[in-house]
Structure 1
Amino acid sequence: MQLSVTSINSGSNGNCYYIGNEHEAVLVDAGISCRETEMRMRRLGLSMHKVKAIFVSHEHSDHIRGIPVLARKYKLPVYITPDTLCRSRMDLSGVEVVSFTGYEPVQVGGLSVTGFPKFHDAADPHSFLVEGNGVKIGVFTDIGSPCEHVIRHFEQCHAAFLETNYDDGMLDRSYYPYHLKRRIRGDHGHLSNRQALELFVAHKPAFMSHLFLSHLSKDNNCPKHAKSLFDVCADGTEIVLASRYVETAVYQISHQGDIFGRTLTVEDITSAGEQLSLF
């Protein structure tokens, strides 16, 4: 028994993650347009009609931009906390809006989705654990520091999307103003390569088959460098780059740790006309 997972898009220009079984699927965030989401899913052989709900991590535009159109068109319920909904200022008229509470699982067909709090500079930010067919998939992005909530859930995952937003040296040398560098590095900002790698090495379960490096900064990270750091410590886990410009392959993750699919490589992105500096 397996779950299908893919990153539809991952980065400050938009985030959207697909997790599903043979009958239904959910999206965690929808930060790119409805049209772009549909196009990428078609390329992957996935149907939007299989998607039964959207779960919202927080109100920043790169996580919610596509939600109103997508939810209306496909009549999808949007699961969102009251504080996030208020701060988002989304027009969700005509959309079924459902509140969720941290640590209370939401059942979507054969999938169970549990949100839990995280550190980020948003009203009520949550990460998610999606479970089905005996498989657990985590979505851990937009995190300032790996708190106990994150660690506890990461240790359960057969596969995970983990933020590797910036390289410390590149951020030091970047043109970003001091206040923005401080925000990114803060306890409510983003995870660096180093922080994510420390979490991975210290808390990766032996059965984790698959790790997506996610939400890489366009200006302050290098995909090749980030992947090389994790490859050295992978210990049997497949390391995949999640791009800000193209979807990954669809991976079928089983509780035995089997992986089916093809890793999106740096060469794939380059051949698609994207340069590494565009991550």
Structure 2
Amino acid sequence: MKYAAIASGSNGNCYYVAKGEDVVLVDIGINTKHVELRMAKLGLSPAGIKAIFITHEHGDHIRGLSVFCKRYQIPVYLTEGTYKGTKLRLPEHLVHIINADARTAVGDLTVIGIPKYHDAKEPCSFVITDGMTNVSILTDLGRGCDNVKHVIQHSDVLLLESNYDEEMLRTGRYSYYLKNRISSGWGHISNREALELLLENRSPRLRHLILGHLSGENNTVDIVEQTFAPHCEEIELSIALRTEETPLYEYVPAMQTISRFVYVEQQITLTQF
């Protein structure tokens, strides 16, 4: 499977996952021109995208959705709460309403919705699997609920939110309201919380950790790297940036990985919020 973060951060999010001709995007939170430019740098064509999955209605996850899906006539999958929250009027033939815990087939891929805590109307994260490899995209997490923990336990590739440094948020210029919103258990998780989730729940099958959705105001790449690098000696560690795309990565499971595979669809117990 191939995957990349086209954009990741509080100014915009967009994630690419593919197996062969089966290609999906998770969120389009930057404008269409920048999605096209960043994909082109990776040698990717928007015309090959088979489906777009939207996690929730906040602007940094849907900013480019309307123009992009209309231009390329790509089906959009999102919960009813998310669609209502977007206040967008998308072409009816492109809109597919799904449950927050839905399993959606896109060719050889299955996209699994993961309900989560976030201050949105009906949010979910997504795991994309081909039955051997699980690529998990977990951002905008108010807290590390049981769903999130279970996904981490079964991830081969994990893009995990590491949004803010607690001291920077505490002493920074954000208003009291915004600081509380971020750290309330309904906003985002800090570097410390992300590390605790990783250490308590990762399994030997995890081979690539990407930290994403870094705050531009309350975090730095250096802090995130210093926090996680001592704990990632046996896996690949990457940090997705706000300003540019990551490389296009490819994950090829080793035979030992396949033999210990536990299909997340068969294991996950979903908590209804």
Normalising by structure 2, we get a TM-score of 0.91
- Aligned to 1:101, the other structure's residue is in SS state coil
Q: 1:74: Cα distance to partner?
A: 1.0
Match of 2:119 among 106, 118, 121: 121
The residue identity in structure 1 corresponding to 2:236 is E
Match of 2:227 among 213, 226, 229: 229
Q: Does 1:102 align with 2:100?
A: yes
For the Cα contact (< 8 Å) 2:9–2:241, is it kept in 1? yes
Superposed, 1:8-19 pairs within 5 Å as 8-19=6-17
- Aligned to 1:212, the other structure's residue is in SS state strand
Match of 1:156 among 154, 157, 164: 154
The answer to which of 232-241 and 183-192 deviates more is 232-241
Aligned to 1:45: 43
Q: Does 1:30 align with 2:42?
A: no
The residue identity in structure 2 corresponding to 1:37 is V
For the Cα contact (< 8 Å) 2:14–2:28, is it kept in 1? yes
Aligned to 1:60: 58
- Aligned to 2:254, the other structure's residue is in SS state coil
Aligned to 1:89: 87
- Aligned to 2:126, the other structure's residue is in SS state strand
The residue identity in structure 1 corresponding to 2:159 is F
- Aligned to 2:118, the other structure's residue is in SS state coil
Aligned partners of 2:255, 2:112: CA distance in 1, in Å? 21
The answer to which of 165-174 and 85-94 deviates more is 85-94
Aligned partners of 1:94, 1:83: CA distance in 2, in Å? 16
Aligned partners of 1:154, 1:86: CA distance in 2, in Å? 29
Normalising by structure 1, we get a TM-score of 0.89
Aligned partners of 2:193, 2:48: CA distance in 1, in Å? 35
Structure 1 runs of 4+ with >6 Å offset = none
For the Cα contact (< 8 Å) 1:15–1:32, is it kept in 2? yes
Aligned partners of 1:73, 1:178: CA distance in 2, in Å? 41
For the Cα contact (< 8 Å) 1:9–1:246, is it kept in 2? yes
Aligned to 1:263: none
Aligned to 1:276: none
Aligned to 1:193: 191
The residue identity in structure 2 corresponding to 1:19 is V
Q: 1:95: Cα distance to partner?
A: 4.8
The residue identity in structure 2 corresponding to 1:219 is E
Q: 1:172: Cα distance to partner?
A: 1.1
Q: Does 1:183 align with 2:181?
A: yes
- RMSD (Å) for aligned C-alpha atoms: 1.4
Aligned partners of 2:47, 2:56: CA distance in 1, in Å? 24
Structure 2: gaps (5+ residues): 257-273
For the Cα contact (< 8 Å) 1:20–1:26, is it kept in 2? yes
For the Cα contact (< 8 Å) 2:100–2:122, is it kept in 1? no
- Aligned to 2:251, the other structure's residue is in SS state strand
Structure 1: gaps (5+ residues): 259-279
Aligned partners of 2:247, 2:193: CA distance in 1, in Å? 26
Match of 1:165 among 159, 163, 166: 163
Aligned partners of 1:22, 1:235: CA distance in 2, in Å? 30
Report how many residues are paired. Answer: 256
Q: 1:154 to 1:257 in 2, by over 3 A?
A: farther
Q: 1:142: Cα distance to partner?
A: 0.4
